[in-house]
Amino acid sequence: MASRKKNLSPLPDTIWCSAGRSAVERSAGAVEQRLGELAASGAIVEFAACEHPGGRGVGRAFEALWHPGEGTTVRARMQIAYPGEDPLSGWELTAEASRPWDWSWPSPVYMFWPKSRTSPWDLAGSRGFLRFRAANSVDSPESARESVRTALAAEAEIHVLTADDFHDDGPGGELPLVRYLPAGFTGRLVEHRVAPWALRTVNRELECVGLRLAAGGALIVPQRRRPSQLGAADLVLPGYPGRPGRPSALIDAVTRHALFPRQARPELHRRVALLRDRFTLSPGTGSGGGLQEELAAALRAGEDLRKELAEVSALLGEAQRAAQAARVGEAAALREAEVARVALQEARAANEADGLGQALREAEARRDAAEAGAEAAEGRLDEQAREIGWLRSRLAAAGRPVAAAPPEQGCPSSWEELVERAGRELECVVLADTVRQSSPQWRGHPSEPVWRRRTWEALCALDAYARAKAERGSGLLPHLSAYLAWEEAPVPLPRGRYSANESQYVLNTARLREMRMLPVPRAVHPAGRVLMAEHIRIGSGKPPAPRLHFHDHTSGDGRIYVGHIGNHLRNASTN
């Protein structure tokens, strides 16, 4: 096994590949017919058929070229081996895009194979005992061992184990997982639905990777050499008894996992090299004959924009350097605040022992000054973030008239106006009734105007993230962290203000976890409540240190549900 691991290397992020077996009669003829239909409809630019290149076996090779989105080209090759004594035809499909693969694009298998669910081309793997488009039953120790070992050895395919809790209409009553995922997962994802009596054998096989499938839960099977940042929490999901459909957490976890590079052996890399070196079609052939001329014209027009782009890029660089300086200042202020807190604790101890009230007052003054400095540094960081966002929008729209200064944010002047505008302007953000009907506990605080502005900016950023995810797909923006790191983010938010989760102490303490079980519509969760561990920091320093807690349901109904805007909820420091 060690020598096989050494031969593994990551596939490029532009590559989509798969392989399987087909029980379709005259598989090559079915593929050629499908390509002809798509070429006639304009779904693909051109296709070609030939014998296996380089004399590799007996069979046919097909090439196709299409555009999944504006400015993007995909070229793909499928090789089909004619069956001999084996009634099944083997097939290999390799596709490469002109930019990193977006899982929301149509699956390449449907460019070659019929879409009909009754067409039996989707037998996964070299032996073809699994299906791509169905939930494969694991109902015996033998099938459990073979399924797990096949999943651990997979290169291109992503394997998911789902424990069947039999709360629906018997085994197989729930739709296959691939039906809930973006289109690009068809032909790449294999689901194994594990029966309760096979669960023990599955977990025994998983001991080699230190993972365990829980009853009613799900598990994404990693490759044996998995990225160091990919932990058990990213791969194992708890059970959801009686859940309707698939939980959004599973959909998000699989989508995030697909963004990690897949490790492959030299044979698969040779398929990629063959696609690149022997591909005969070009964007200038067939119905796309004018693409090269259009590209040349676009390049010529781009020359006129280079000067402005260089100027705006220089401004962006200056703004980013200023933002970095603001971050350094904020970190220094926070360190000084921590030193002041330690001094305050020492002074309190001294006061209790010796009655040094003056030392206590001086330490409190130092703490207040340090926290004020941290708040000022955060304010400067806010200004830099808004300026960077505006400069990014100029870069994206180079060549169009733009304002001479960053646009005003139009922050609401009161909490009531903020709630009213959020309901009217932010279609993808839903405030819970408890949030809409109550004022923040920090009304009247000296920092209230700053916190109200940050609350509005956070809500606008959440709305922009949800809209961008709906437009660009979960492959590009699987979660808020990806949006905050996205250079084209239309509404920026400092990444340091967002926390994707709470501490393990909070999550494992029943009373503290219960405080974060916040309301959502029952259409989102049957209980009418979900754990909102994701939150955005509105203010720092001593209490109230306000926070905004929310539930990201963009992979479900496309919305974000805000359950708390107010004082910092209790945690390890205040418990």
Q: Show the domain range for 389.
A: 310-396
Dump pLDDT digits (tens) for 172-221. Answer: 457 889 998 999 999 999 999 999 999 999 999 999 888 999 888 899 99
For CA atoms 246, 247, 248, 252, give the dihedral sign: negative
Domain count, the chain: 3
Together in a domain, 387 and 334: yes
Q: Is 299 inside any structural domain?
A: no
CB 468 within 8 A of CB 490: yes
Residue 294 located in a structural domain: no
Give residue 392's pLDDT: 60
Residue 262 domain flag? yes
Task: Evaluate if residue 369 carries a pLDDT over 70.
Answer: no
In terms of domains, do 361 and 428 share one? no
pLDDT at 490: 86
- pLDDT tens digits, 240-291: 654 545 678 888 889 999 988 888 899 999 999 999 988 988 765 444 444 4
CA atoms of 502 and 571, how far apart (whole Å): 9
pLDDT for 544: 86
Residues 468 and 368 in one domain: no
Based on the fold, state whether residues 450 and 522 are members of the same structural domain.
yes
Q: Burial, 155: exposed, middle or buried (Cβ in 10 Å; 0-12, 13-18, 19+)?
A: middle
Residues 171 and 204 in one domain: yes
Does residue 353 have a pLDDT over 60?
no
- Residue 284 within any structural domain of the chain: no
The whole-number pLDDT of residue 350 equals 60
Q: What is the pLDDT of residue 133?
A: 93
Q: How far apart are CA 20 and CA 129, in angstroms?
A: 10
| Residue 298 covered by a domain | no
Residue 93 lies in a domain: yes
Q: Residues 33-41: contacts with CB within 8 Å, 24+ apart?
A: 34/111, 34/112, 34/113, 34/114, 35/62, 35/64, 35/111, 35/112, 38/64, 38/66, 38/111, 39/286, 39/287
What is the pLDDT, as a whole number, of residue 468? 94
Spatial CA neighbour of 148 closest among 85, 207, 231: 207
Q: Where are the alpha helices (DSSP H) in 229-290?
A: 232-235, 248-258, 266-278
The tens digit of pLDDT for each residue in 419-455 reads 999 999 999 999 999 888 887 878 888 888 889 999 9
Question: Are both 389 and 432 inside the same structural domain?
Answer: no
In DSSP terms, which residues pair with 537 in a beta bridge?
547
Q: Is residue 530 part of a domain?
A: yes
Does residue 380 sit in helix, strand or coil?
helix
- Encode pLDDT of 503-560 as tens digits: 888 888 889 999 999 999 999 998 999 999 999 999 876 788 899 999 999 999 999 9
325/392 same-domain check:
yes
Render pLDDT for 197-208 as a digit per residue (tens, 0 to 9).
999 999 999 998
Q: What is the pLDDT of residues 17-44, one digit of tens each?
A: 999 999 888 888 999 999 999 999 999 9
Between residues 499 and 332, which one has the greater pLDDT?
Answer: 499
User: How far apart are the C-alpha atoms of 214 and 158, rounded to whole Å?
Assistant: 19
Residues 386 and 426 in one domain: no
130 strand-pairing partners = 124
21 and 89 part of one domain: yes
Structure tokens at 396: 């994206």
Write out pLDDT tens, residues 88-132: 888 999 999 999 999 999 999 999 999 988 889 999 876 667 999
Mean pLDDT, residues 228-243: 74
C-beta neighbour count of 506 within 10 angstroms: 19
Residue at 405 is within a domain = no
Please check whether residues 89 and 219 belong to one and the same domain: yes
Task: Give the span between the Cα atoms of 195 and 216, in whole angstroms.
Answer: 10
- pLDDT mean across residues, the chain: 80
pLDDT higher for 76 or 377?
A: 76
pLDDT higher for 102 or 573?
102
Confidence label for 479 from pLDDT (cuts 50, 70 and 90) = very high
Q: Is the pLDDT of residue 311 over 80?
A: no
User: Is 391 in the same domain as 426?
Assistant: no
Average the pLDDT over 1-27 and give the result.
80
Residue 97, strand partner residues: 74
Token couple for 98: 């002109």
pLDDT at position 89: 86
Chain centroid, CA 312 distance in Å: 30
User: Do residues 274 and 322 share a domain?
Assistant: no
Model confidence, pTM: 0.51
